[in-house]
Structure 1
Amino acid sequence: MVAMVTWIALTGLASAASLVSLTLTGPAAATPAPLEWGEGPLTVAALPRITYVAHRGGAREVPENSMSGLMAAYERGTAQVLDFDTRLLRDGTPVVFHDETLNRTTYLGGEVRGLDAREWQGVRLRPKDALPGSWRSERPPTVAEVLDRFGGRIVLMLEAKDPPSLDRLAGLIRARGLTRSVFVNSNDPEVARRAHRLGLLSQLWRSARQLRTDRPERWRSYVDLLDVDHRARDADLTRAVRSGIRRVWAHTVVTDAQRDRVLALGCDGVITDTPGRLARADRREAERDARREARRAAAREGQRGARP
């Protein structure tokens, strides 16, 4: 009831916010037309040896869990996986949203589950002032909209924040032929087991504290991706890497040093709020390596030319 009162009281504010005209440096469309698959849906089999994931679209670079933010990350090509969170509305509609309440990232207040699909049309995201560039206010998308926009064009990672949503999410994924293209994430091993039984790609995330006592090898029969906290101890990360689980990716990385550490310990993926910055750092390092190799080659050639 409180959520509904708050929603009604603030709907006018949200409507006004939706009319604010801001210059958008990323893609503008909140509900763009679907892209073409080409030959067929892209699956996890296409992922590179070291994978980069745009966490919530890259939450330090774009408005988190927004259609325009996900589209910007997709078009920039700095990550091979797009991550987003999901919540369930009162009428069972899965939407893209992280928190239980609207307060932190929108112009409204109250619980997400207090709204239905019609009322969700009045919600508007409030982009952070600290984000680079300018972003307009927009409605948070539904899960169906994100699957229709990106499914099969790039690998997706969605977290089922509300475990009862798992059957509904599975239906949306199956209906679009995306069971090998979408990781379904949870912090609960039992939810991961259920996702596996539903024929989905199961992902399990664990905090640094949880990893101290976890025995990840117990999950290898039903976890496709183990998502570990980069702040965990070296020994705990090493145990995760050696668990027999095929993929072990580290969250939520924002600096070169954090990335280099988890990769050195054997992780094969990085979940990051700053995919663009890390990609730029990678390019700079590759360019430095290329210049060093060119200098070495020139020196070797000079030495050969100097021989009698």
Structure 2
Amino acid sequence: MKSKFAKAISVCAIVAMTGLSTVGAATVYNNVSATLRPDIMVKYNNEAIELKDSNDELITPIIINGSTYLPIRAIANLTGLNIDWDNESQTILIEDMTEEKDEIGVRGVVKNLVKGKDGVTFLIEGKLDEDTMLDKAYVTVNMQTTVMRNGVEITRNFAYGEIKEGDIVEAVFTGPIAKSYPAQAMAKKINILSEETNSPVINAKVKAPDVVGKIIEIEEGGKRVLVDSKDTTVNGLIWITINEETNFFENISEDIAIGYRNVSREFKVGNHVEIIIDGAIMESYPMQAAADAVAVNEKR
């Protein structure tokens, strides 16, 4: 497989230990003749670029024995690689750059919102998930907090009043976390995943599900599930069709269900589901309908 270097740079551009040879355990260094070539253009993704060193000086390509060379650090920085030097072993170290990912402190529904002069504090109540630290926490958002909406930064145009009780928010903490319960922390970053007025909610206080029961059969790789529904609008067996437009949720408690990007769509026989129907129900046996929203509880 070609490296990032070969794909990205339009010249042969990796530094080499030219003129170096070894005899036994001793290293012999030979001088070579090199030519500076400021007329050589470097392109990255077909766009001309200027490479600079640590002193912000322009780097000029070098020709040695017919091959073109550029400093390896400049190329590594350009292509997103880490470069280091091990002086003891006289070794150049090149590694893929690993992007540090913020750990999500808490994700859930906004409650008990209190607005202050310099920010806003509210309770985020959710559940402890694989990618979160806590199930609930009081979070303070202020001028230093980066604000996202569905992954897009909106900090510059954001006002504290835009956060409302019922919103679904995930928060990344900064600084110490108060060891109370719920915990208390400052938010380094928040991501508003959806808003109360736009997010489909599947709890009985807002909109009761039409189908409640266990999955007893699965077809078409999970695109159709047979549910034994009881004590709701629909009683009896019903085939539910799932498509890409279906909203998925995971039940937190009896009266809270929030949308999760990582809710499994791989149904299993025995899963407890609560479903809001989209459109009419076909009066066949079993009945048939399409799902607008599905809340899954894999542990029930």
TM-score range, shorter chain: under 0.3
Higher strand share: 2
Higher helix share: 1
Larger radius of gyration: 2
